[in-house]
Amino acid sequence: MRFLRIAATGCVLAAAGAAVACGESLGGARTTVEGGKYTVAYTTSPAPIVVGQHFSLDLAVCAKGGVPAPQSVRIDASMPEHRHGMNYRASITSPRAGVFRAEGLLFHMPGRWDLTFDVVADGATQRLTSTLRVE
Amino acid sequence: MASARQLAAIALVAAAVPAIAQAPPPVTFTDAEVRRILSLGPWPPPPVVDPSNRVSGKAEAIAFGTRLFADPRLSTNGAIACTTCHQPGRAFTDGLPRAQGLARVDRNTPTVNDVGGQRWYGWDGAHDNLWAQSLRPLVDPREMGDGVAHVAAAVRTHGDLRERYVAVFGRPPPADDEVVAVDVAKALAAYQEVLATPRTPFDDFRDALARGDAAAMARYPQAAQRGLKTFVGAGNCTACHLGPRFTNGEFHDIGIPFFVEPGRVDPGRHAGIRRLGASRHTLTGPFNDDPVRAPGTSTRHVSLEHRNYGEFKVPGLRNVARTAPYMHNGSLATLRDVVRHYSDLPEDRLHADGERILKPLGLDRYGIDDLVAFLETLSAPLPRP
């Protein structure tokens, strides 16, 4: 079952500047999502994601100029065409500042999934969304 | 392996091989449909070994489990065995809408074929491993028993059971009834893990498609090919019935009423998650034999949601023609009834929590015939008498 990256809210591919550097430590083929204040870069394990099997995410959250560093991140996913979410809640750890690991995610149906990253810093939250299609 | 586009072209050619003047148009598959067909195999899968069960895969445990499965001494009235409901001659089902043990239970008896290696067990997924699922009927007063004490006493007092227990577990039955009962369940699980359905006509078609063997593909009935096209195409059945087992292993509300009787409902998955959380017999509990507890990911992350109310597990479809009646409450007698249900879905009974997964298939009677013909090819032909 193949995992196709079709879009990400904002921008899919790292283009230039800080976005290119964000998540370099993750290694492997990473997806980059641009928001107004933050850039999120992530890899999945396994890659590609397999429908019906748990996967984990390693991600880096990079603050843009003058923006507070991220304190935490919440990760969830939903199928907008079906109007339901996952049957599992991701657990998130942070091995070092700005780097997070999410475990326990599972896409239980093929189709479009919106993977959301809620980046929290100084009491404010910015949501970044990466849209995936899994088959 | 040939590309999906090449295979789609072969699929068209294969359908035309036996062409005769009055034959219906040949079945063609799109690239996406070919990919979905290929994802429904190969079959059989590799043998399952459960790291949470220290006797999984061991020949002596499988032999012990085989005997226990048919042994009525495990029930409190000495008359009911696992085989009372899971009858080997009926594809390990009983043919009844709702199972009958010491009392009538609320749900249909699921087959135990292909039961190894699943993420959740039971219509409500209240168990995350096969040995816990195997223990449940032994201690359920509606099915076989009233607790672990009777199971442990049966093993301690019947010499043949005690002897085999010692051979499998390497020690006499300990004083703790729960430990003995869980061990019995682990032997039962070891047996059930080896119950696999054989290859089917669909598997032959799928493998022929994978290797581009047009002549072999042409032996698959045209009606089944049309039904398969509906299954992987417009019908979108593979949204839930996916992979070689034909299930995503999760839970959905498909519009089957969940009233057991007037005034009493079966909460399905919602109650299953709550029971899971209250159980000691999970992959996160003390009876998991895997020292690293690796398989417990699903249990540690499962999320209880209001929409789980009235959801039931998506059953696998292998051998489905042999496991009537259907649905969690056995309310649909035949495969044709099941296809009609999906064809005429009562949309007003769906989407209570806003889900928009299912849409009526709107099949005419020929389309229903075709989908039934496909589903029947998911069972191996019965041996001729």
Give the residue ranges of chain A where pLDDT is below 70.
Answer: 1-20
**Do B105 and B160 lie in a common domain?**
yes
Residues B184 and B212 in one domain: no
Phi-psi region of B95 (alpha: psi -120 to 50; beta: other; left: phi over 0): left
Q: Give residue-wise pLDDT tens across range B35-83.
A: 999 999 999 999 989 999 999 999 999 999 999 999 999 999 999 999 9
Per-residue pLDDT at B179 exceeds 80: yes
Same domain assignment for residues B204 and B160: no
B118 shares a domain with B75: yes
Whole-number pLDDT of residue B345:
87
Neighbours of B100 (CB within 10 A): 16
The dihedral built from the CA positions of residue B9, B15, B19 and B25, taken in this order, carries a sign that is negative
Q: What is the mean pLDDT of residues B175-193?
A: 98
Q: What is the domain extent for residue A44?
A: 3-134
Is B79 inside a domain boundary?
yes
One domain, residues B145 and B214: no
CB contact under 8 A, A87 and B303: yes
**Same domain for B325 and B233:** yes
The CATH code of the domain that includes B134 is: 1.10.760.10
Judge whether B301 lies within some domain: no
Residue B170 has pLDDT above 60, yes or no: yes
Interchain contact, B300 vs A104, CB within 8 Å: yes
Partner residue opposite B250 with nearest CB, options A1, A54, A108? A108
The total number of structural domains in chain B stands at: 2
pLDDT of residue B9: 53
Domain that holds residue B212: 1-38+198-268+310-385
B202-232 burial, b for 16+ CB within 10 Å, e for fewer? bbbbbbbbbebbbeebbebbbbbbbbbbbbb
Residue B317 burial (CB count, 10 A): 21
Looking at the structure, do residues B152 and B219 belong to the same domain, yes or no? Answer: no
Q: What is the mean pLDDT of residues B227-247?
A: 97
Inter-chain CB proximity B301 and A88 less than 8 Å:
yes
B36 contacts in chain A (CB < 8 Å): 135
The per-residue pLDDT for A9 is: 38
**Interval B305-363: pLDDT, tens:** 999 999 999 999 999 999 999 999 999 999 999 999 999 987 776 655 656 778 899 99
| Chain A residues inside the 8 Å CB shell of B355 | 82-84
Check CB contact under 8 Å for B239 and A111: yes
Residue A43 is part of a domain; what is its CATH number? 2.60.40.3340
Q: Total structural domains in chain A? A: 1
The interface pTM score, or ipTM, of the predicted complex is 0.89
Pick B239's closest partner by Cβ from A89, A90, A109: A109
User: B282 in a domain, yes or no?
Assistant: no
Residue type, B66: T
Please check whether residues B244 and B365 belong to one and the same domain: yes
Chain A residue with CA closest to B250: the answer is A108
Q: Is residue B277 domain-resident?
A: no
Closest CA to B84 of B61, B64, B112: B112
| pLDDT > 70? residue B376 | yes
Q: Where are the alpha helices (DSSP H) in B39-114?
A: 59-69, 82-85
A66-95 pLDDT, tens digit each: 999 999 999 999 999 988 999 999 999 999
Which residues of chain A have a Cβ shorter than 8 Å from any chain B Cβ?
1-2, 51-52, 54, 81-91, 103-106, 108-111, 135
Q: What is the pLDDT of residue B171?
A: 98
pLDDT at B348 (0 to 100) = 72
Q: Which of B135, B169, B192 is the last residue of a domain?
A: B192
Q: Picking from B9-23, B217-231, B234-248, B371-385, which range would have the lowest pLDDT averaged per residue?
A: B9-23
Q: What is the mean pLDDT of chain A?
A: 87
The Cα–Cα gap between B300 and B289 comes to 17
Percent of chain B whose pLDDT exceeds 70: 91
Closest residue of A to B304, CA-based? A87
* Cα A81 versus chain centre, distance: 20
Percent residues over pLDDT 90 in chain B: 84
Q: Report DSSP letters for B118-145, one per residue.
A: -S-BSTT--BSSHHHHHHHHHH-TTTT-
Task: Return the SS3 of B170.
Answer: coil
